[in-house]
Amino acid sequence: MEKQKEKRNRIIAIIPWALVIVLTSLNGFFVFHYFKTDKKLASTEEVLFSTDSAKNEIENILQQTQVELSNYQGKTAQLDSFLQQKDNDLKVYAGRIKQLLSQDRVSKDQLEKALEEIDQLRYYKRKYISQIDSLSGEIVLLNRENVNLRGNIDKQKRKNEDLNMEIGGLKTKVAIGAKLNTSNLNVTGIKLRSNGKERETMRVSQIQQIKVSFKIAENFVSDKGAKDIYLKITGPDGTTLYNQISGSGTFKFQGEESLYSSKKTIAFTQDAQEVSIYWDKGSEYSKGNYKAELYSDGFKIGAADFELK
């Protein structure tokens, strides 16, 4: 009995110490797991990174690209088209990176991959700017060549214009040189005798024809051959004596139609020759001052005033 009591007392004495040991072990276990869990949490925080910095870097690259591209804009349509194409390419590439950074926080591997893509974006930006700069230089050089070419063309054009003026002037000189020159221009009225001979008179009551005589000087510039000479007689009232039945008609002088009283076609030989042109009476003549004018090859080649009494 005494032994059982002693044994119970020992057990009672051991229990507190056992509890202490158990509590101490439990406490150590919880402390260990607490720090272990906390360490895991800390470790988890270390591998999650903010994407804000990477996103800002992408926007900075795109903004810098816009600034640099603006220096090349507006020069040529070809260059502007190339700029737009490369700008679109960079924006598409940047969009792919932004897709990788769509979350606010990503793992280390994800962030590193995104940063590698950003480095690649920088490379493409430098490459495209270099291409654009090279193309811009080629365009500037081509524009200079075009300016020089236009300058040469303008010079040649001016030379051609000067040459055309010289040729035109030469043609004018030749044309003027080809003009027939007349002298000894004489106008008289004619009455025909019964034997066919002519008698000169200036009386309107007797005149049947008006005769215009003149001499054409020799001219080796004017071409040989048939030449029309137009006689235009203007009466006292300023109108042209005109009778279609007697051979009157129209001719061009200085781009305008003009009436002529009579026409004669001569065989021009380049030598001096005497010519006479007649105007047959179409109606009664009026007394007063008249004028006889001669035209050929677009030139006025002679004129004389006369009076009928």
Tens-digit pLDDT string for the chain (309 aa): 555 556 565 655 555 555 555 555 555 555 455 555 555 544 445 456 677 777 777 788 777 777 777 776 766 676 677 767 877 877 777 777 777 677 777 677 776 777 777 777 778 778 877 777 777 777 767 777 766 777 677 677 776 665 565 555 545 545 667 788 899 999 999 998 888 788 999 998 899 899 999 999 998 888 889 999 999 999 999 899 888 888 889 999 888 899 999 999 999 998 999 999 998 876 788 899 999 999 998 889 999 999 999
What's the CATH architecture for 182-308?
A: Sandwich (2.60)
Please give the angle made by the CA atoms of 197, 202 and 208, to the nearest 5 degrees. Answer: 50
How many Å apart are CA 289 and CA 259, to the nearest integer? 19
* pLDDT at res. 200: 92
How many Å apart are CA 56 and CA 190, to the nearest integer? 115
* pLDDT at res. 140: 67
* pLDDT at res. 43: 47
Cβ proximity of 217 and 272 under 8 Å? yes
How many Å apart are CA 152 and CA 25, to the nearest integer? 103
196 sits in the region (left: phi over 0; alpha: psi -120 to 50; else beta) called left
Show me where the domains of the chain are located.
1-38, 51-178, 182-308
How many Å apart are CA 235 and CA 237, to the nearest integer? 5
* pLDDT at res. 175: 60
How many Å apart are CA 199 and CA 191, to the nearest integer? 5
